[in-house]
Amino acid sequence: MSPDAGPLRGTDLKRHHRGQRRAAPPARRLAFVLENVAYPVNVGSLFRIADACGAEQVVLTGTTPDPTASPTIAKVGRGKHARVRWSRAASATEAIAALRAEGFWAAAVEITAAALPYHAVDYPPAVALVLGNEDHGVTRPALAACDAHVSIPMFGKGASLNVHVAAAVVAYRVLLG
C-alpha cells in the first residue's frame, strides 16, 4: 500500500463504486420495512444504509416519521430519502403482505426464541428486513407475518445493537451471501 494513498473523493470515489457494482453486483434484492422506528436519526440512518445497499424500497409503517416532514431525517440521511423509493403502509403486516406479493421473503431482525443467527440463514433471492421500534422491537403481529426471525449474536454485556447498525450488519450479509 502506498504511504501517500488517501481517501477517494468526488469523481474518483464515484468511479470506484461504479466499478465495484459492475464487478460484484449484489446477490439478492433487498427492501426494508420500518415499524414504529421512533427516532429521526435512526430513520435517516436507515435511508442512508438503504441507499448504500441498493435497496429497492423502504416501507414506513406505524409511527415511523415521514422523511419529508423531518429536517433531521434529511440531514442524517444526507437526502437519501429522495433517492431511495419509499412508501407508507398502515401496518407492518400490510407492508409484508405487499412485499410478499412482489416476491420478497420477510425476515424480522429481532431477538426472539425462534430467531436464527443472521449469518447462518440461507437467504432467498429477495429479502425484506423488518426493523422495529428502538425500545419495543418488532410487534407480535409483524413477527407472526414474517418468514423468519434473525438476530445478531452479542458477545459483550449489551443486549442489542442500535436498529440502524443491526440493519446494516444483516443487510450486507443478505447482499453478499
Name the residue ranges covered by the structural domains of the chain: 26-154+166-176
Q: pLDDT (tens digit, 9 = 90+) per residue, 64-91? A: 999 999 999 999 999 899 899 999 999 9
* Digit-coded pLDDT (tens) for 113-152: 999 999 999 999 999 999 999 999 999 999 999 999 999 9
Per-chain mean pLDDT for the chain: 94
- What are 33's three cell numbers? 420495512
Q: Using one digit for the tens of pLDDT, what is the confidence trace for 46-57?
A: 999 999 999 999
Give the CA dihedral 117, 121, 127, 131, nearest 10 degrees: -10
Q: Once rounded to an integer, what is the mean pLDDT over residues 152-158?
A: 96
pTM, two decimals, is: 0.92
**How confident is the model at residue 3, as a pLDDT?**
63
Please report which confidence band the pLDDT of residue 58 belongs to, taking 50, 70 and 90 as the band edges: very high
What residue spans of 69-139 are helical by DSSP H? 71-76, 92-101
Q: Looking at the domain 26-154+166-176, which fold is it?
A: Alpha/beta knot (3.40.1280)
- 85 sits in the region (left: phi over 0; alpha: psi -120 to 50; else beta) called beta
